[in-house]
């Protein structure tokens, strides 16, 4: 790895930690350079401003979260089992420290920059990256009856978020494994009650 690339990683690592701890607005470029162990000039050589640095961090973090394998509809398996597996994978992602970390950094900045919402909603992380074609395939096979797969996939994920993700993000409550499993079971049951053919 070239020295320039190494310094860029040091800057990104430092910025991610500082943005998580204090927010983008409260982090100065001087503070960032000090924590990264580089000069302020080096920071500016890589990133023109904090907004550019923030975008680079979000892209990197989203990239790290998007490494899971897509689930493809399998007509030989019960749809409830497949949806439960998807929900479990999504619940684990939502409860993971990397996911909660990127969410906290993103939401803190979202309060200052409403336009950021467009960028964040365009990122399809976790099952949202494959659930729409999964639901369409299940509908084509006559197992589900989903007229709007995009809307239905959002329903599925947002139901899980309400019980698993938001309580942890806002530190409202601890989500136990039993709480998680109940949220998964009820989400799948409600989804199938609405969409099973």
Handedness of CA 25, 26, 30, 34 (dihedral sign): negative
Half-sphere exposure of 51 (CA within 13 A, CB side): 6
- pLDDT attached to residue 123: 62
Rounded to whole angstroms, how far apart are CA atoms 102 and 107? Answer: 8
Mean pLDDT for the stretch of residues 132-136: 97
Please report, to the nearest 10 degrees, the dihedral formed by the alpha carbons of residues 17, 23, 28, 34 taken in order: -10
- pLDDT attached to residue 58: 79
Which tens digit of pLDDT belongs to each residue from 22-79?
888 888 999 999 999 999 999 999 998 888 888 888 777 777 666 567 899 999 999 9
Which tens digit of pLDDT belongs to each residue from 73-82?
999 999 999 9
Of residues 110 and 196, more confidence is placed in 196
Token pair for 87: 């929900």
pLDDT value at 124 more than 80: no
Domains of the chain as residue ranges with CATH:
3-62 (1.10.10.60), 66-195 (1.10.357.10)
Mean pLDDT for the stretch of residues 167-190: 91
Work out the burial of residue 161: count CB atoms within 10 Å of its CB; fewer than 13 is exposed, 13-18 middle, 19 or more buried: middle
Rounded to whole angstroms, how far apart are CA atoms 184 and 164? Answer: 9
pLDDT value at 113 more than 80: no
């Amino acid at each position: 790895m070239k020295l320039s690339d190494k310094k860029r990683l040091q800057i990104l690592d430092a910025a991610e930690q500082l943005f998580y701890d204090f927010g983008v607005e409260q982090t100065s470029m001087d503070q960032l350079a000090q924590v990264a162990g580089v000069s302020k000039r080096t920071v500016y050589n890589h990133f023109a401003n904090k907004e550019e640095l923030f975008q680079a961090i979000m892209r990197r973090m989203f990239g790290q979260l998007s490494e899971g394998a897509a689930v493809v509809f399998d007509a030989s398996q019960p749809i409830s089992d497949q949806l439960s597996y998807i929900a479990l994978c999504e619940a684990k992602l939502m409860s993971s420290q990397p996911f909660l970390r990127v969410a906290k950094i993103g939401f803190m900045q979202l309060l200052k920059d409403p336009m950021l919402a467009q960028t964040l909603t365009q990122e399809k992380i976790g099952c949202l990256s494959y659930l729409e074609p999964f639901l369409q395939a299940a509908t084509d096979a006559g197992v589900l009856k989903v007229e709007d797969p995009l809307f239905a996939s959002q329903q599925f994920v947002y139901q899980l978020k309400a019980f698993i993700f938001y309580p942890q993000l806002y530190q409202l409550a601890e989500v136990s494994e039993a709480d998680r499993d109940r949220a998964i079971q009820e989400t799948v049951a409600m989804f199938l009650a609405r969409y099973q053919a």
